[in-house]
Structure 1
């Protein structure tokens, strides 16, 4: 699987080494790093399909991307919707409130496009053999471009403006409570996915 597999990707619900729930904003940033890794894997998958065609490596890469965006991404968005955005909407200045509203709209748009992008990936994951892989249409390729493209500016805005602003409003007990709630949502036994 060396062709399109990214090594050492943290599985959904787990955290990167050295970052724990006691550091919730470091966890959120680590999730952004995993989003970028999954989007690179998606890019490698697309290149692999274009140059080498469908095979088990492609199917596994598609399953990996689906698992991440089915499980971990919704938890990440939930963390932000519960612990980041409300405080800034309440106590931030107008520029911060506008940024938060944009990020909330991004989450809605991401939630709407993911099932379509997932359908493209599912076709790869479910193709039984090379002969059953018909390829993606130009519309599918454009959809995957749009899906991947949604994340760059979104993450940049969160990391450069929104996260620092909200951290300035939180004391140590509040950060600890956020971390505990984030951990609880990941370990409470609920099935995640869309």
Structure 2
């Protein structure tokens, strides 16, 4: 059975909420929170209207907000770190770009979340055992990915010039308009 609590609490942040790392850390906290909510849905238990609202929120987060976070990393952060050669090996930057595999798992899970949200194909049948296994795989992959970023990428971002960090924040803000 998948636990309803996160495996690990998010790394404590000492970053300002409006700086790049503060914003990324907030995104990581949201990812972890929505994974906890997704694990709750995977039990199949609970009040149907609350499950529907939770499924809508999980679906919206993974379809809308997570792709914006990935774009922040892929389009705004990784290229700057690579250009500046801030001591990060190309292999580390490549590991940061694990979004493709994560997105495949999310796409498969979205069909179930959409059904539970009342937005899916009514002919779709949820295999709860498969759903939980896929969610567990996603959870492990995501925690590995987030941990890597928090340990390696966040400190590297702090080495970028202030002007580049401000530009990243502007780009992040624009993406969400």
Once the 2 structures are TM-superposed, how far is the Cα of residue 133 of structure 1 from its aligned partner?
9.9
Once the 2 structures are TM-superposed, how far is the Cα of residue 29 of structure 1 from its aligned partner?
0.8
Match status 1:154 vs 2:145? yes
Which residue of 3, 17, 27 maps to 1:19?
17
Aligned residue pairs, count = 160
TM-score, with length taken from structure 2 = 0.80
**Aligned residues of 1:84 and 1:163 also touching (Cα < 8 A):** no
Cα RMSD, aligned residues only: 2.5
What is residue 118 of structure 2 aligned with on the other side? 126
Gaps of 5+ in 2: 5-15
Match status 1:36 vs 2:32? yes
What is residue 180 of structure 1 aligned with on the other side? 170
Against the structure 1 CA distance between its residues 137 and 36, is the aligned structure 2 distance closer, same or farther, given a 3 Å change threshold?
closer
Rounded Cα–Cα distance in structure 2 between residues aligned with 1:92 and 1:98: 13
Match status 1:79 vs 2:66? no
Against the structure 1 CA distance between its residues 115 and 134, is the aligned structure 2 distance closer, same or farther, given a 3 Å change threshold?
closer
1:45-94 Cα distance to aligned partner (Å, 9 max, x none): 223x1x44x6111111111101111111001010011222123333144x
SS of match in other structure, 2:176:
helix
Rounded Cα–Cα distance in structure 2 between residues aligned with 1:133 and 1:79: 33
